[in-house]
Structure 1
Amino acid sequence: MLRSYFTIALRNLWKHRLFTAINIFGLASGLTVCLLAITHIRTAFTYDTFHPNPERIYRVLTDVEDKGSNLTAFATSPMPLAPLLTRDYALAEKMTRFTRVYGDVDVNHKRLDAMSYAVDPDFFSMFGFRIRSGSPATAPNTVVLTDETAKRFFGKANPIGQTVRIGDLPPMTVTGILADDHRNSHLRFDLLMSLNGANANARKYLNDWTNYAGGYTYVRLKPNTPAITFDRILTDISASICRTTQFPYAKRYSFRSQPLTSISPAFKELAFSTYEPQIGGLSVEMAVGLVTLLLAGFNYVNLTLARSLSRAREVGIRKVSGAVRWQLIGQFMAESVVLSVLALLLAFVFLQLVTPMPFVQQWLVKGATWDLSLFSLFVSFALLAGLLAGFVPARILSSFEPAQVLRSQTGLKVIKGISLRKSLIVAQFTISLIAMIGLLTMIRQHRFMASSNYGFRTERVLSIPLGGVPYQRLANDLKTVAGVEELSPLSVMLADHGGDNHTMVRRNRSATDSVGTMSISADAGFIPAMGLHLVAGQNLPVSHRDSSGRLVLVNQEMVKALKLGDARDAVGKTIWLNDSTDVQIAGVIADFRYATMAWAIMPLLIQYEPGRFHYLNVTVAKDADTQVLADVKRIWKKLAPYESFDGQWYTDYLDQRHSHNDDIFFMSLLVGLALSIACLGLLGMVTYNTTLRIKEVGIRKVLGAKVGELVWLLSWDFVRLLLISSVIAFPLGTLLGYAFLLSFAYHVSIGIETLGGCLGLLLLIGSLTIGWRTYRVAQTNPANSLRAE
C-alpha cells in the first residue's frame, strides 16, 4: 500500500510540474532558514561541555538591590570572594577569577586591539582550554595567547618568550599558546594574563567588596558536594558583608550559584553577562525560520486546494470504489512527504550557498559541529514540516462526499464567505510587507547614522591610527604638507561607542551626587580641527606643559548634570575625578554627538593626556585630499616602514561603522525569500484560476472584449488581495519598525517614504506576477480555447 501511495504521489507531482516546483522551492527556502536556526540553537546547548567535570563547576552571581529597591542580577561578583572561599571553606576543589583588563596591547612598537583577561592559576586546570605549546600563565607578569592572536601579533615567528605590554601594566612574557579547538564557550578572550603579582593599585581593586562588577568567580566543588550547601555559604557571606560595608550605589547584595551547564543558553539576561547566547535571540531566529516555513506551507495548502476540483473528483471515485477516509489521508500525506524530502535536498544546496556569508558565519554556524545527529535532526524536522503542511489539505479533501463532488459542488469557504485560498494569499503578502517595512526602516536608520550630522566635522578629515608612531613626531612632519589645515590627536574615534574612559565626577571631593561621564583625551587642536563651538571660557592651552591635564573642557550636558549653573558660571570651577584628582574647567563646548546614535548626548570631559592618544585627525583643504593622502602615506612609510598605513577618511569610517552591509544583505535575502515564496504562490493561483476561466475568456473575446479589459477582469480579484494585505500590514509594520527604532536615541521616522516605497514595490512585483500570466491568457485565440467545448 505504501508503495502505491508514493508511486501515485510521484505521478501527481510530475503531472503538475509548475505547482510542484513552486512548492519545493518554497519549502526549501523555509527549511534553509529553519535549519540555520536549528544549528545555532543546538550549538547553544553544547556550550562549555568540553570542560572536565562541568557538572561540578559553578559561577557566582550577585543580586544587587539599589537605592530605589530595584533588584538587578549581575553575572559578576566582588574579587575578594574567591580568596575568602578558598581560605575559610573546604567545599571547593578549585577556584578561579576571570576579570577584564582594558587597554591596547603593545607588541614590537605596534599597538593592537585585544580582549585581555586576568585569571588565577586554577583557571587552566579547571577549564578545558588546551595549551597547544608552552605552559600556562601562572607566574607573575606572564601571559598566554590564543593561536589566532599569536599569529596576529607575531606572524610566523615563535611567540614563546616574547614580551607584550597591556595598557599601563608592566611588560609580560608570553609563556604559552592556547589551541583554537574549543570555540563553543561563554568565555571569549584573545589573551590571558596571570593575576599573581598584582601591583598596589590592583591589590586595592582585588580587595574591594563594594565592587560587585569586578569580575567573574568560578568554583569547582568537591565530589558529592550539594549545590544547596554552597548557596547557603554564599548567603551567609553576603549577609555578613552587608552588615559591615557601606555601598556607594546600592543598598545591599546577595550571592547565589549558577551551574556551568545552565549558563548557555541564558534564559534570564544578566548585567555584565558573558558571551552565552540569549534565549530571546534564539527564539527570534527560530521564529523567523518558522514564519518563512509557514509561508511555504501556505503555498502548499493554497495550491493543493486550488486543484480541489480535480482532486475532489478523484476522492469521489476512490470512495465509491471502497476507499476509506484514512487511506485517502495517507495518499495526500505521502505527496507532502515526497515534497518535503525533495525540498530538504534543495535546502542542503541552499545551505552550501549561504553558509560562507559573513553574517551566517558570525551568528549562526560559528562553532557548529556538523555530525550525524544534526543531520538526523534536519531530516526529522523536514518530514515533520511536510506532514504538517499536508495535514490541512488532506483532512479537507478526504472529507468530500461522493454525491457532492461528482456534481462539482465543492465550494471551500471559511468565515463569512471568504475563501480559504484568498485568506492564505492575504496572510502571505501581509507577512512579506511587514518584513519589508521592518527591513527598509533598518536600512534607513543605518544610512541615517552613517551620513547624519553629528555636530563635528566629518568631511575631508583623515583619521590615522598611531600604532607605535609618536604622535608629536608625525604631527610635526604633517604640518609641512600643503593642504593640511589642522591636526588633532585623539584617544578614540568619534561617533563610535563614546569615550575611552568612564570617569566619576563630583562637584567637590566630599559631594555625594557623583556623575558618570565619558572622557576623551585631546589637545588644543581638537576644537578647530573638528569644527566644534566653544560656548564659554577658553580652549585647552596650546603649550604642552600641562602634562597633568589639570585644565579640562566639558560639554553643556556635563554642566547640567553637575548643576553648575550656566556655561559662564561653570568656567573656572574645580571638579573631582574618581575622588582623587581635582581639575579646573577651562571652557564649555556645545553639545555634539560624540558617541553612537543609540545613546542620547551624555556628559563629556576632554582632558590633555598624551599617553592616551591613539589617533591623529588631519583636516584637509578642499580639492587637496588626493595629494594630501599620498603625502601622508609617504611620511608614514618613512616613520614606520614595517607597519601598514590604516588611515581612512572619516566619512568612509562612518559608512563602514554604521552601514552593516553584511547584516543587511542577509536580512534582505530573508525578506526576498518570503516575498518570492508569496509571489510564486500567487503565480500558481493565478495560473490555476486563468486555466479554469480560459473558455470564459474565449467567449468574451468573441463578444468583443479587448485584451486590456480581460487582463483587468482576471487581475482585479488578486490586486484587491494585495491592497487588503497592505491595509493589514501598514499598522503592524509601523509597530515593528518603531520597536527597532526605540533602541536609538536619534532615529528616522516611518512615513510615506517607507510605507509608500514598500507598497509600491509590493504592487509592482505582484502586478507583474499577475499581469504576465493574465496577459498570456487574454492573448489566447478563442478558436483554440473553445475548440474542446
Structure 2
Amino acid sequence: MFRNYLKTALRSLRKNKSYSLLNILGLASGMLVFMLITRYVTYELSYDGYHEKKDRIFRVYKRDDGNVYQGTDQFAVVPAPLPTAMKAEFPEVEAAARVLRRQNALIEVGDEFFIESNLHGVDPDFFEIFSLEILKGDPNSPLTGRESVAISRTTAMKYFGTIDALGQTLKYGEEWSGKQFFMQVTAVFEDMPENSHFTIQLAADFQGVMELNRDDSQSWNNSSYYAFGLLATGNSFEGLQEKMPQIRAKYADDPIDEDGQESNYIIQPLADMHFTSNVNFDIAPSANKQNLLIYLGIAFMILIIAGVNYVNLATARVINKTKEIGIRKVIGAQKKSLLSQFLVESSVLVFTSLAIATFSLLLILPSFATFIDKPLAVDFATVQPWLVLLILGGSMTLLAGIYPAVLLARFKPIASLKGKGTVSKSNAMFRNALVIFQFTISGILILGATVLSRQLSYIQTMDVGFDRDQIVIFSVRDQGLRDQIGAFKDEIKTIPGVVSVAASNSLPNNISSSTSARWPGMPEDGERVRIYVNTADYNYVDLYGLELVAGRNFDPNIAADKKGILINEAAAKAIGWDDPIGKEMVRTWYGDTGRVVGVLKDFHQHSVHLAIEPSQIFFNDEQSRISVKIEGDLDRTLKAIEAKYLSFNPKYPFDYNYFDDVFDRAYQTETRTAELANWFTALAIVIACLGLYGLAAHKVQHRIKEVGVRKVLGASVGRILALLSKDFALLLLVAFLIASPIAYYVMNGWLNDFAYHISINIFTFVIALVLMLLVAGLTVGYRTYRAAVRNPVEALREE
C-alpha cells in the first residue's frame, strides 16, 4: 500500500513541477537556516560540558560596592589568598586553585623565542578540578615543584616536535622584571576543547610564576587572580555563598579599603561562566545568552514561516485536486487512506527539502563557522545528527501536511466532482491569518535589521572625538628597546611617510586604568570622583586629533609640564571646576601633584555602550605603546618601521595593528548581529513571498470566471489588478500594524544598551512598510497580471 502511495505522490509532484519547486525551495531554505542557527546555539550551550565534575565546579568573582568600572561593579579577579582561605575555612570546598594569566609571555627553547598568550600559573588542585587528559607524566601529580610546567599537545609539538617531551626545559622570563628561570616539562596534556570558557597551553606552577613576577601571594589588597573551586559532594552553591561573608569578617584588611569600598565574593557555577557578560577582566570573552535566545527564536520563526508556506501552497492547489478526491471517494476510498496518501506526498516534499538543506549545510557550514569565528561541524558518523534530522523531517511533515490533508479528505464526493467545496469563510480566514503571521514576522525582522544597520552606521560615522584613519599602533615589549624608547621614536620620525609618532599607556578608545580623583582642598565628606587615567607624550594629542577647549597641550619647552595634566570636560564638570587651568591634582601613579595645563573636549574613551566619563592624561614620554600617523604608501612605510624596530635587536617580533581595525573590533558582536539579521530578514521575506504567491494563486483561481465576466463587460487590466490585489494590501497593512509595536519594544530595549544611540523615528517604519508593500506587490502583481491579461473566453469555458 505504501508503495502505491509513494508512486502516486511522485507522479503528482512531477505533474505539478512549479508547485513542487516552490514548496521545496521554501522548506529547504527554512530548514537550512534552522539547522545553522541551532548548530551555533547548541555549540555555545555546550561550553565546559566535557569536565567530569562540571556540576560541582565553581569560580569566585567579586562585587565592589561603590567601585563602578566600565559600567559594572563586578570583577572576575580576586585576592590571591582567597581560594586557600576558602579551602581551609569551609569543608564544603573539596579543592581550590588560583590561576594567574600571563599574556605575551616570552618563552625561550634552545635558540628560538616564542610569544605565548595562554601561559597560566596554576595551583596543583587545578588538575583535580578540571578534566585535563594527561598524555605524558603522572596524572595524579602533573606539577612537581616551583619550576615545573605542564604543556599541551600542540605546544609540545611546536617546541619539540613530539609529545614525548618529559624532562625538556623551557626558559620563561618577563622582560620588564629582568628575571628569568628554567622550567622543566613534567606533564603533557591533551589540548583543551575549543568549547572551553578558557584554554591553557602552558600550566606552570603558581608560586613559581608569582615569584618571577615579584607578586605577594599573601596580600589581600591585590585583586589580580582567578579563583576556581570544587564543591564537595552533597553541598550546594547557595549554601557556600551564605558562608562567604565569614571570609571578609576574618580577614579584616580585605573588605574595606581607604574609600569605604566593600568587596563581596560571589560563587558562580561553571555552567554560568560562559554567559556572564557584565564582569570586568574576565579570563576569556563571554557569550550573550539573550542573543542566543533571540537567534533561536528567529530560527523557529523562519522554520514556521516555511511550514506556513507549504500550507498556503497546498490549500491553493486544492481546487486542482477536488475532482481526483471525488473519484477516489466514489470508487470506495476511505478518509483514512486519503489522509495517508496526502501525508505521504507531504513527507516526500519535506524529506526532499531536508536532503537539500542538509547538503547545503555541509557546503555553507565552514563559511558560516569562519564568519562567527566558531569551529562548527556536524559529525554524521554518529547517530545524533541522523536522529535530529529524522525528528525535524517528521515534525515538519505532520505540522505542515496535516491541515491540507484533512481539508482534502473531508470533501463530499458530489461537490468534489463539481469542483466545489474548496472554499469556505473559515478556510479563507485561516489562510489570511497565515499570511498575516508570515508578514508580521517579516515586518519585525525588517524593522529590526533597519535599526541595527542605522545604529552601526551611526557608530561608524559619529564624531568620537579622535582620529582613526592612517594610524598604526604596536607595543614595545622588549625591555632593551624600552630603555631606548626615545631614540627609537626619533628613528621612526625620520622615515618618509611618517607624519607623527606618539607614545602612551592607552589608546584613546580604551583607557582602562581608573582611580579616585584627588586634589588639594577636596571636601572630605564629598562623593568621590572616579577618573580614568592615561599617560602620554607631547605628540599624543595632535596625532589623535584631540580637541582642546581650554588651555594648551604639553609643551616640551616648559619644564613644569613634566608634571602637567590634561583633563576632559567631564572631569572638570564632575569636580566642579569652572576654570580648571592651573588647578592642582594628585598624580596618583607618581605620588605627587601636578597642574592642569589644558582641558580636552570630551571624547569616547570607551565603547559607545558607556557614557563619557572623567579622564586625565599625565605627561610621560617613555611609554611603550607606540602610535604612528602615516600618509602615502602604508606598506612601504610599515616595512621601514619594522626595519628600524629590528635594528634594535628585540626578542619580541614586530606585531602591529591599524587603529581603525582596533576600533571596529569593539563592535564586532553588533556587526555580526547586523549582518546575520540582514541575511535572515532577506530569506524570511523570500519565503513569505512564496506563501503570498500561493495565496494569490488560490484567489485568482477561485475568481477566474469573475475576471472573465468583468473583462467581457469592459473592465480594464488595471482595474482587475487593483481588484485582485487590494485584499493582499490589507493583509500586509494588518501585519505591519502588529509588527510595529513589537519591533519597537524589542529594538528600543536593544538600543538602551548604548549610552549613545539613534532614535527610532517614523522614517524607520515608513522604510519598512514601503519595502513590505514593494516586495509583496511584485509577488502578487506577477500572478494577478497573468490572470488579468488572460483571454476571457478561456476563463468562461472552464467548468
Q: TM-score range by the shorter chain?
A: 0.7 to 0.9
Deviation at 1:385, TM superposition (A): 2.6
1:119 is matched with which residue: 96, 110, 122? 122
2:568 is matched with which residue: 547, 555, 561? 555
Paired residue for 2:383?
372
**SS at the partner of 1:727?**
helix
Preserved contact between residue 9 and residue 341 of structure 2 (Cα < 8 Å): yes
TM-score, length-normalised on structure 2? 0.81
1:617 is matched with which residue: 620, 628, 631? 628
Check 1:409–1:380 CA distance in 2 against 1; reply closer, same or farther (3 A cut): closer
Paired residue for 2:502?
488
Greater alpha carbon shift after TM alignment, 380-389 vs 105-114: 105-114
For 1:226 and 1:585, the matched residues in 2 are separated by 60
**Is 1:584 matched with 2:594?**
yes
**Is 1:219 matched with 2:233?**
no
Preserved contact between residue 514 and residue 533 of structure 2 (Cα < 8 Å): yes
Q: Deviations over 1:727-772 (max 9, x none)?
A: 3333333333322222111122333553333333333332222233
Paired residue for 2:28?
28
Deviation at 1:699, TM superposition (A): 4.6
Paired residue for 2:246?
239
Paired residue for 2:578?
566
**Is 1:775 matched with 2:774?**
no
Deviation at 1:357, TM superposition (A): 2.3
Query: What aligned pairs does 1:677-716 form with structure 2 within 5 A after superposition?
Result: 677-716=687-726
Gaps of 5+ in 1: none
Q: How many residues align?
A: 765
Paired residue for 1:165?
174
For 1:653 and 1:49, the matched residues in 2 are separated by 32
Deviation at 1:582, TM superposition (A): 4.0
**Is 1:186 matched with 2:197?**
yes
**SS at the partner of 2:425?**
coil
For 2:634 and 2:47, the matched residues in 1 are separated by 50
Deviation at 1:596, TM superposition (A): 1.7
Letter of the 2:580 counterpart: R
**SS at the partner of 2:170?**
coil
Paired residue for 2:393?
382
Paired residue for 1:84?
85
Gaps of 5+ in 2: none
**SS at the partner of 1:486?**
strand
Q: Deviations over 1:578-603 (max 9, x none)?
A: 8x834424333221123221111012
Deviation at 1:412, TM superposition (A): 3.3
Paired residue for 1:757?
767
Preserved contact between residue 690 and residue 774 of structure 1 (Cα < 8 Å): yes
For 2:653 and 2:63, the matched residues in 1 are separated by 47
Query: What aligned pairs does 1:324-363 form with structure 2 within 5 A after superposition?
Result: 325-358=335-368, 362=372
Check 1:308–1:729 CA distance in 2 against 1; reply closer, same or farther (3 A cut): same
Deviation at 1:295, TM superposition (A): 0.5
Letter of the 1:672 counterpart: A
For 1:378 and 1:411, the matched residues in 2 are separated by 35
Letter of the 1:539 counterpart: N
Deviation at 1:431, TM superposition (A): 1.3
Check 1:60–1:467 CA distance in 2 against 1; reply closer, same or farther (3 A cut): closer
For 1:592 and 1:113, the matched residues in 2 are separated by 34
For 1:288 and 1:505, the matched residues in 2 are separated by 47
Q: Deviations over 1:46-102 (max 9, x none)?
A: 4434435545x431556869579xx9998776542332344466676543223445x
Deviation at 1:677, TM superposition (A): 0.3
Preserved contact between residue 9 and residue 334 of structure 1 (Cα < 8 Å): yes
**Is 1:477 matched with 2:477?**
no
**SS at the partner of 1:19?**
helix
Q: Deviations over 1:609-636 (max 9, x none)?
A: 5564323232x5xxxx225763453243
Greater alpha carbon shift after TM alignment, 345-354 vs 314-323: 314-323
For 2:244 and 2:724, the matched residues in 1 are separated by 78
CA RMSD of aligned residues (A): 4.5
For 2:556 and 2:276, the matched residues in 1 are separated by 54
Deviation at 1:190, TM superposition (A): 5.7
For 2:596 and 2:748, the matched residues in 1 are separated by 41
Deviation at 1:351, TM superposition (A): 0.9
Paired residue for 1:58?
57
Preserved contact between residue 309 and residue 410 of structure 1 (Cα < 8 Å): yes
Preserved contact between residue 266 and residue 276 of structure 1 (Cα < 8 Å): yes
Letter of the 1:238 counterpart: P
Greater alpha carbon shift after TM alignment, 581-590 vs 59-68: 59-68
Letter of the 1:566 counterpart: D
Deviation at 1:465, TM superposition (A): 5.4
Check 1:89–1:667 CA distance in 2 against 1; reply closer, same or farther (3 A cut): closer
Deviation at 1:420, TM superposition (A): 1.9
Preserved contact between residue 77 and residue 281 of structure 2 (Cα < 8 Å): yes
Quote the sequence identity (%): 27
Paired residue for 2:632?
626
Letter of the 1:14 counterpart: R
Preserved contact between residue 471 and residue 627 of structure 2 (Cα < 8 Å): no
For 1:559 and 1:482, the matched residues in 2 are separated by 40
Check 1:550–1:118 CA distance in 2 against 1; reply closer, same or farther (3 A cut): farther
Query: What aligned pairs does 1:250-289 form with structure 2 within 5 A after superposition?
Result: 253=264, 258=269, 260=270, 262-263=271-272, 279-289=289-299
Deviation at 1:521, TM superposition (A): 2.8
Check 1:67–1:75 CA distance in 2 against 1; reply closer, same or farther (3 A cut): closer
2:642 is matched with which residue: 632, 636, 640? 636
1:441 is matched with which residue: 448, 451, 455? 451
**Is 1:307 matched with 2:317?**
yes
Check 1:153–1:391 CA distance in 2 against 1; reply closer, same or farther (3 A cut): farther
Check 1:220–1:179 CA distance in 2 against 1; reply closer, same or farther (3 A cut): same
For 1:254 and 1:481, the matched residues in 2 are separated by 52
Deviation at 1:340, TM superposition (A): 2.2
Deviation at 1:419, TM superposition (A): 2.2
Letter of the 2:643 counterpart: K
**Is 1:298 matched with 2:305?**
no
Q: Deviations over 1:562-589 (max 9, x none)?
A: x2432427x43233638x8344243332
For 1:232 and 1:718, the matched residues in 2 are separated by 60
**SS at the partner of 1:357?**
helix
For 1:173 and 1:361, the matched residues in 2 are separated by 40
Preserved contact between residue 585 and residue 596 of structure 2 (Cα < 8 Å): no
Preserved contact between residue 593 and residue 601 of structure 1 (Cα < 8 Å): yes
Check 1:737–1:60 CA distance in 2 against 1; reply closer, same or farther (3 A cut): closer
Greater alpha carbon shift after TM alignment, 696-705 vs 270-279: 270-279
Letter of the 1:455 counterpart: G
For 2:505 and 2:395, the matched residues in 1 are separated by 56
For 2:213 and 2:531, the matched residues in 1 are separated by 22
**SS at the partner of 2:632?**
helix
Check 1:343–1:270 CA distance in 2 against 1; reply closer, same or farther (3 A cut): farther
Q: Deviations over 1:189-218 (max 9, x none)?
A: 56544321324997556542895x852222
